[in-house]
Amino acid sequence: MTNDWFVYILRCADKSLYTGITTDIQRRLKEHNGVGGARYTRSRQPVILVYQESADCRSSASQREYAIKQLSKKQKEALIF
């Protein structure tokens, strides 16, 4: 089975981090930096992709996204580097 889903972390212009899931990271990144991105990132542009990992399905991507969102910023920074 191919990895059709991705979990990603963006660094916003204000240095905050945003975590999400998608099937197309490049498309989603363009959306976050333009029109159609998440409400959180609209006022924090530009954003850059700093982390991504693949997932087997939407369910596992959502579960991983939730787990990452539960981490502290310090823990997320450690995951990125």
pLDDT given at position 1: 47
Q: How many CB atoms lie within 10 A of CB 10?
A: 25
pLDDT digit string, tens, across residues 29-59:
999 999 888 999 999 999 999 999 999 999 9
State the residue for tokens 């498309």.
27
Q: In whole angstroms, give the CA distance from residue 24 to residue 49.
A: 13
Looking up residue 75, the CATH number of its domain turns out to be 3.40.1440.10
pLDDT given at position 62: 98
Q: In whole angstroms, give the CA distance from residue 20 to residue 3.
A: 16
How many domains are contained in the chain?
A: 1
pLDDT digit string, tens, across residues 53-81:
999 999 999 999 999 999 999 999 999 98
pLDDT given at position 2: 58
**Residue spans of alpha helices (H) in 2-81:** 25-32, 39-42, 58-69, 73-80
Cα end-to-end span (Å), the chain: 28
Structural domain span for residue 29: 5-80
Query: What mean pLDDT, rounded, does the chain reach?
Result: 94
